Structure 1
Amino acid sequence: MLTPDPPSAQAVRDCQAALNSLHSTVYFTPDLAKALTGYGVTDDMGGYLVGRAAPLGTVGPGLVTALFYSFEHGMVARHLPGAWERITPAQAWEERLRAADATLHQALGAGNLTGQPVREAARLALTAVAGGRREARPMFAALADLPVPQEPHLALWYAATLLREHRGDSHIGALAAAGLDGLEALVSHCASAAGMPREMVMTKRGWTAQDWSAAEDRLRGRGLLTADGALTGRGEEMRAALEDETDLRDRAPYEHLGARGVARLTELCEGFTRSAAAAGIFPAALADFFVPGGGPTPGKDPA
């Protein structure tokens, strides 16, 4: 049901950025990698793939490449489905929750995990999740089939992950409609003012320098990229239009929560993210990307 006080597009972006930062804390601590090593999953990207794909079941590389969008298929195929011979999706999800538990203990402090702010944030985030749309959002839909953790801090992390995937699915729909393939989406995102540095994402997602250059050439041919790899005016307009389209596709959870709930959830999650940063969770090179006030929100959508 639509609340009588729908939030603005900027309010939604601010809330999504805070939720994404909270969700992402688990990637910057060693807990998940250490746990997965016990199952024989020793590569960082292999751990990322099995952890994020776990709600989908024992899927192969084709589906994961399609749903994750900006990852090179050969890299995905080097890990899946082979990793499922060493760890089941259910085990991978449980290890991901355990890693989130350990990370949030470090980020927020054990004494704060059951406090009123965390409980309130979990309630608000789950209310937003209840307004999410499963149609054409496979990552969100798969996660939504899993049980909500009982512990407040894990319920919050789970809800933040759901809302991150809801926006991710929505963003990928916008990218496909704009005619950008996965690598072109990644290159244009990194070329934007708020994008991650190329060297931090290119090889991790399986791409070579030659792949990257070829994608840059394709974008130049469409008038979206300059000779030195920056976005043209037309390219900036294209990225802005992608964010606007993502906002439209991603509004349902936040309209369900309402403007006041969105503002309060943003306030709480930004506070949690600052606590995580103070605890040293985020690498210094990425602090501007994840910590509130570190940069403009629009570029923070996954490419």
Structure 2
Amino acid sequence: MGTSTARAMWERLEPVHDLVYFAPEARRAADELGMRGFWMGYFALRAAPLGAVPASVVTACFYVFHPDRVARALPDAWRYAAPPDVLAARERAMEAAMTRLFGPEVITSADMAEAADLAWNAAEAADTAGRPLAAANQALDRPRQPHTRLWQALTTLREHRGDGHVATLVAHRLSPVTAMALKAATGDSDAALLREGRKWDVSDWAAAEAELRERGLLTEDGALTAEGLAAHDAVEAQTDSLAEQPWQALGREDTARLAELLTPLAAAVRTSGLLPSGNPVGLTDTTV
């Protein structure tokens, strides 16, 4: 597969966005709100832009999680903190995490302000029709500080891509578990990490692999067939295509400049040790 603009930008924005899952400041913020454990904090922090929606809505939007995993966190999380309070805590956590990781000189630099404004312009221009997580994030107020403004803009763009990815999986008749099993068969992500993190049983995973074998996408030993590789590549290519619009709106020069400004930030996150081994977020470009 060639590298599209959308994929190149995602490889740079995803690590910065992922601070909300893996930075200790995010876990501390969730704990201080009264959230019970990592997963309640995860779902509350990510779903808060949607409002106090039930577990069924979040399960549909996040796609790959077993409904029981979500239901253990929501709607109980909203009894501990209302979504506006969660959003305020999320912003404070990202302010602290980015300051610690990138340093005061970087977050107060002209480059940071420029990156924030470019990313905000792209996120503001994103077409969010049919993209609930992107629309919910896009509707949030513009953060005052450049580095938290950058994080929020990148989050809107990340969820814009993710919403398109879910639509693509549905169009390709890939259920949550078959989608993860197909991804794991590429070697990009660890199968056990995906299955256990999303709370699917071994039997669910086995059934998904059996379905993929019946469709001619996996061999008996779990490797991708030529058809399976083609199916995987088609999903990724369509996801990229559906994510191009914000970058087209931003323009080639400004997108290239934002990529340049994001590259050292993404590298700092990826070399920080914060992202877990096994690559649950599916990043593929090891050079960023």
Q: CA deviation at 1:281?
A: 3.3
Note if 1:221 corresponds to 2:201: no
- 2: distance between equivalents of 1:180 and 1:57? 28
- 2: distance between equivalents of 1:198 and 1:110? 38
Which residue identity does 2:247 align to in structure 1? Y
Residues 1:289 and 1:203: Cα distance change in structure 2 (over 3 Å): closer
Note if 1:212 corresponds to 2:205: yes
- 2: distance between equivalents of 1:126 and 1:196? 30
- The answer (yes or no) to whether the contact 2:193–2:280 under 8 Å persists in 1 is no
The 5 Å alignment of 1:60-79 reads: 60-79=54-73
User: How many equivalent residue pairs?
Assistant: 287
Task: Give unmatched runs, 5+ long, in structure 2.
Answer: none
Deviations 1:136-177 (A, max 9, x none): 001000111110101000000000000000000011111111
Deviations 1:74-110 (A, max 9, x none): 1111111111111111111111111111111122101
Q: Structure 1 stretch 114-123 or stretch 278-287: which is displaced more?
A: 278-287
- The answer (yes or no) to whether the contact 2:190–2:279 under 8 Å persists in 1 is no
- 1: distance between equivalents of 2:239 and 2:51? 27
The 5 Å alignment of 1:1-303 reads: 10-193=4-187, 195-283=188-276, 286=279, 293-294=286-287
- The answer (yes or no) to whether the contact 2:160–2:243 under 8 Å persists in 1 is yes
Task: Give unmatched runs, 5+ long, in structure 1.
Answer: 1-7, 296-303
- The answer (yes or no) to whether the contact 1:61–1:73 under 8 Å persists in 2 is yes
The normalised TM-score by structure 1 is: 0.89
Q: Structure 1 stretch 41-50 or stretch 26-35: which is displaced more?
A: 26-35
Deviations 1:194-220 (A, max 9, x none): x22122221111112221111111111
Secondary structure of 1:203's partner? helix
Deviations 1:45-94 (A, max 9, x none): 11111111000111111111110011101111111111111111111111
Residues 1:173 and 1:285: Cα distance change in structure 2 (over 3 Å): closer
Secondary structure of 1:225's partner? coil
Q: CA deviation at 1:183?
A: 1.3
| Larger RCO: 1 or 2 (CA < 8 Å, sep 6+) | 1
Secondary structure of 2:127's partner? coil
- 1: distance between equivalents of 2:67 and 2:169? 18
The normalised TM-score by structure 2 is: 0.93
Q: CA deviation at 1:247?
A: 2.1
Residues 1:284 and 1:116: Cα distance change in structure 2 (over 3 Å): farther
RMSD, matched Cα: 2.1
Q: Structure 1 stretch 21-30 or stretch 80-89: which is displaced more?
A: 21-30
